[in-house]
């Protein structure tokens, strides 16, 4: 009988296929009590800089860490790029181990949120301790994960601060386009490659409004992603973090760097020494990526001054404006880049 009993599951698999694997239950959010527990070991204040790719997150990170009490590093991508932080515990096997009833260490709880928080805290605070700074943050941009990144962050860091930097989507589009050109992405189409070759031969046609550096598909894809990123990140940031959410514009940072950093540092809870103004000016005048950009594809990268505001005005054709306006015109007004749709 035992032999035939063992044959039944095998027969069912042969007839119906392999049964579905067990799915992990949703990872619980960290509780206030668990936050208090983990902060006994990792007491530093945390912040995270989010933004659409090509929106000034790197510059903001470089300026933020100039403060003697603030450390910021970049692109841990805890919440903004696959694989995410939660992948550490996001399997049925991990759940079983972290919730096992015979495990007297878990006190009847799923330890997953504590594992996630402790792992991220260790990475952040190890660096901050080396720099002897009491506030630490990570900057990780994303063009693909929007509101979910904010929700995932809040589930692990409800006590942290979220900084969101926004750049004019038209300049984001140009910067994204030239990044693809400079890196000669394997995803470039035949039309993209023709544009690159024509750009190398004669740049005039691309600055006098007669020729576009974009295909319509590229404009619609980047513009719609920019809108989605801004809407979801700001809406969820305000909803979940309240006063611990801070939105700012890249263009304001370029125009008034010291004043904007004073406001940001105040948001993070530190005072600003006036002597930092000169330090900020020196940092703003440098470009750590300049040598790398020139080596990769200097003839194209030199065509577009990196990091400037308003490049779109000399490169957009009438078609480009019409398509971008259709997709993202309302968001430009929401962030006060335009007063209306007549541009």
- Whether the CB-CB separation of 157 and 93 falls below 8 Å is answered with no
pLDDT tens profile 243-268: 999 999 999 999 999 999 999 999 99
pLDDT of residue 179: 83
d(CA 280, CA 277) in angstroms, rounded, equals 5
In a domain, 255, yes or no: yes
Q: Are 166 and 51 in contact (CB under 8 A)?
A: yes
Contact 241, 161 (CB under 8 A): yes
CATH number at residue 69: 3.40.50.300
* Unique residue bearing structure tokens 């910067």: 175
Q: What does the pLDDT look like over 107-159, one tens digit per residue? A: 889 999 999 999 999 999 999 999 999 999 999 999 999 999 999 999 999 99
Residues facing residue 50 across a β-bridge: 164
Q: Is 4 a domain residue?
A: no
Give the CA dihedral 127, 242, 240, 115, nearest 10 degrees.
Answer: 30
Give yes or no for a contact between 146 and 66, defined as CB atoms under 8 angstroms apart: no
For residue 60, tell me if it sits in a domain. yes
pLDDT of residue 306: 72
Q: Has residue 96 been placed in a domain?
A: yes
Domain residues for the domain of 147 are 32-334
Tell me which residues of the chain have a pLDDT lower than 70: 1-21, 184-185, 289-302, 304-305
323 CB-near residues (< 8 Å, 6+ apart): 216, 219, 220, 223
N- to C-terminal Cα distance for the chain? 82
Tally of domains in the chain: 1
Backbone angles phi and psi of 209, in degrees to 5 = 85, 5
Whole-model pTM over 0.95: no
* pLDDT for position 181: 82
User: Is 20 part of a structural domain of the chain?
Assistant: no
Question: Contacts for 202-206 with beta carbons within 8 Å, 24 or more apart?
Answer: 203/303, 206/315
Domain-located, residue 214: yes
- Cα 301 from Cα 181, distance rounded (Å): 8
Is residue 17 included in any domain, yes or no? no
Residue (of 86, 111, 118) closest to 97 by Cα position? 111
Within a domain: residue 79? Answer: yes
CA distances from 264 to 181, 259, 260, 305 (A): 34, 9, 6, 26
Helix axes 216-241, 318-334, angle to 10 degrees: 0
């Amino acid at each position: 009988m035992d032999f035939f009993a063992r044959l039944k599951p095998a027969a069912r698999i042969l007839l119906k296929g392999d049964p579905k694997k067990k799915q992990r239950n949703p990872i619980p959010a960290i509780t206030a009590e668990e936050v208090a527990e983990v902060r006994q070991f990792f007491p530093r204040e945390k912040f995270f800089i989010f933004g659409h790719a090509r929106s000034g997150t790197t510059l903001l990170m470089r300026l933020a860490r100039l403060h003697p009490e603030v450390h910021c590093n970049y692109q841990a991508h805890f919440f903004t790029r696959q694989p995410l932080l939660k992948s550490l515990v996001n399997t049925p096997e991990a759940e079983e181990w972290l919730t096992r009833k015979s495990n007297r260490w878990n006190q009847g709880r799923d330890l997953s949120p504590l594992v996630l928080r402790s792992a991220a805290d260790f990475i952040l605070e190890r660096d901050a301790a080396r720099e002897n700074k009491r506030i630490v943050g990570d900057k990780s941009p994303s063009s693909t994960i929007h509101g979910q990144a904010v929700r995932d962050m809040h589930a692990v860091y409800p006590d942290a601060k979220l900084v969101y930097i926004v750049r004019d989507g038209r300049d984001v589009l140009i910067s994204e386009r030239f990044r693809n050109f400079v890196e000669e992405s394997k995803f470039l189409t035949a039309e993209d490659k023709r544009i690159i070759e024509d750009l190398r031969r004669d740049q005039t046609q691309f600055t006098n409004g007669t020729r576009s550096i974009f295909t319509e598909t590229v404009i619609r894809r980047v513009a719609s992603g920019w809108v989605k990123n801004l809407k979801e990140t700001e809406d969820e940031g305000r909803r979940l973090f309240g006063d611990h959410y801070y939105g700012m514009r890249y263009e304001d940072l370029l125009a008034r760097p010291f004043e904007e950093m004073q406001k940001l540092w105040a948001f993070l809870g530190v005072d600003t020494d006036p002597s930092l103004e000169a330090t900020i000016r020196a940092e703003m005048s440098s470009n750590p990526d300049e040598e790398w950009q020139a080596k990769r594809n200097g003839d194209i990268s030199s065509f577009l001054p990196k990091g400037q505001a308003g490049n779109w005005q000399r490169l957009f054709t009438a078609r480009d404006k019409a398509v971008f306006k259709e997709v993202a015109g309302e968001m430009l007004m929401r962030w006060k880049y335009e007063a209306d749709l007549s541009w």
